[in-house]
Amino acid sequence: MWRKVSGLRIKERKRYILIKIHGHDHNITREDLWHSVKDELRGLMGILGILGMGFRLIRYSQSKGVALFACNHDKLLEALACLTFVTEIRGRRISLDVLRVSGTIKGAYRVGR
Amino acid sequence: MLVRRSFVDLWIRPKDVNEAKAMAKRGAELGYNLLAIEAWHGVKSEEKEEVRRFSRDLGIDVAFKVVIEASKRKALLKALRDVRRKFEIVTVICKSREASMVAARDRRVDTLCLEMANRLILDRHMASIFTNALEIPIGNIIFSHNRDHALSFYYQLVKSAIRFRLSLVTSSSALNPQEMRPPKQMASIVYLLGASKEVATDSVSLKPANIISTNRFKLSDRYVEEGVWIED
């Protein structure tokens, strides 16, 4: 996400959060996960709060139950708190365990290897 | 030389030995170094030892905790006399202002929980005598039926605790392995409630670890009384 500051385009620094779904039964789709997380975000931070976070789902592996989220670097702790509040997806009790936080996508996946 | 933080979950509530072992295994996966288990009703010393042994093999330490719910001063003092020197951590859930005023300054109490159902407020008077730590059970927020109310209550509590410079500790109050959360995620919730990053991280690491190490020393044979101990 780019923003303009006095005529210059500045790229927001991102943090990539690798999470694993604990209690995953391989039926949780990308849409299910994103909707659950987005609902928690909206409830906790509000619409204006979400706009400043730059939060989005980058990748998701349904077979492994591993997902990669991105957020702005200065809103990392808020993003972690929102992920902690997710307790169920499609009626199934789960928790989202953060495996690693990194400044790059490649760095975030390093823990999985 | 950098020293790694050791993370502590100061309150997990398994029903029996098997659940305690499952939670210890989950705690080890999440990166905890120490778990404080609320002893279930009728727990035997052999069961405690079995859980300790199992956890040691996983590389995680275990301490046993008792939680006292009290609304009257006399009942609280009697309960404290009965349980002290049997458990490594004593937590009091205060159901009245009378009990909270006693628990806040009693040396036998380690942490205090103020619950929103009891409508207790942390004011200047209570803060002036508060010598123990204030415990924030994250499970009471995450799994609350009225999450907005819970967030509002704990936000005010954390704000008051920071204003009056009280010691804050965080725990999961998990009933099963599914409810346990990683330490940095628990700290992020405390950060969201208004604490600084350092206070939030210390509340899941330094502060609870200090409480347990101090109590273990006091329960050891070397300790005689306050300020007096036997040197090796």
B181-213 pLDDT per residue, tens: 999 999 999 999 999 999 999 999 999 999 999
Give the pLDDT confidence score for residue A97 in this predicted structure: 94
Taking alpha carbons only, the member of B88, B128, B82, B115 closest to residue B219 is B88
**Given a cut of 80, is residue B227 above it in pLDDT?**
no
Longest dimension (CA), chain B: 53
**Triad B84, B87, B88: Cα angle to 5°:** 110
* DSSP sequence for B38-54: EPPTT--HHHHHHHHHH
* DSSP sequence for B83-96: HTTT-SEEEEEESS
A74-86 average pLDDT score: 93
The count of C-alpha atoms lying within 13 angstroms of the C-alpha of A80, restricted to the half-sphere facing its C-beta, is 28
- Pick A87's closest partner by Cβ from B29, B142, B188: B142
B99-111 average pLDDT score: 92
Q: Identify the band that residue A3 occupies on the pLDDT scale cut at 50, 70 and 90.
A: low
Between A61 and B117, the more confident residue is A61
- The Cα–Cα gap between B20 and B49 comes to 12
CB contact under 8 A, A95 and B181: yes
| B 175-204: CB under 8 A from A | 178-182, 184-186, 188-189, 191-192, 197, 200
* DSSP sequence for B103-144: HHH-TT--EEEE-GGGT----HHHHHH--SEEEEETHHHHT-
Give the pLDDT confidence score for residue B217 in this predicted structure: 87
* Dihedral sign from CA coordinates of A15, B4, B9, B72: negative
Give the pLDDT confidence score for residue A65 in this predicted structure: 92
Q: Identify the band that residue B115 occupies on the pLDDT scale cut at 50, 70 and 90.
A: confident
**Helix B45-58 crosses helix B17-30 at what angle (to 10 degrees)?**
20
| B 15-44: CB under 8 A from A | 29-30
**Given a cut of 80, is residue B222 above it in pLDDT?**
no
* B111 neighbors B9 (Cβ within 8 angstroms): no
Decide the pairing of beta strands B34-38 and A95-102: unpaired
| A 14-53: CB under 8 A from B | 22-23, 43-44
- The Cα–Cα gap between B71 and A55 comes to 45
Give the pLDDT confidence score for residue A113 in this predicted structure: 44
Q: What is the pTM of this model?
A: 0.88
Q: Note the pLDDT tens digit of each residue in B143-153.
A: 998 999 999 99
What percentage of residues in chain B have a pLDDT greater than 70? 98
Q: What is the CA radius of gyration of chain A?
A: 14
Nearest chain A CA: its distance from B198 CA (Å): 12
Between B133 and A49, the more confident residue is B133
B108-114 average pLDDT score: 92
Q: What length is written for chain A?
A: 113
What percentage of residues in chain B have a pLDDT greater than 90? 71
- Pick A80's closest partner by Cβ from B29, B138, B188: B188
**Given a cut of 90, is residue A111 above it in pLDDT?**
no
Q: Note the pLDDT tens digit of each residue in A4-16.
A: 555 565 677 899 9
CB contact under 8 A, B181 and A84: yes
**Given a cut of 50, is residue B62 above it in pLDDT?**
yes
Between A1 and B18, the more confident residue is B18
- Pick B189's closest partner by Cβ from A84, A95, A97: A84
**3-class state of residue B177 by DSSP:** helix
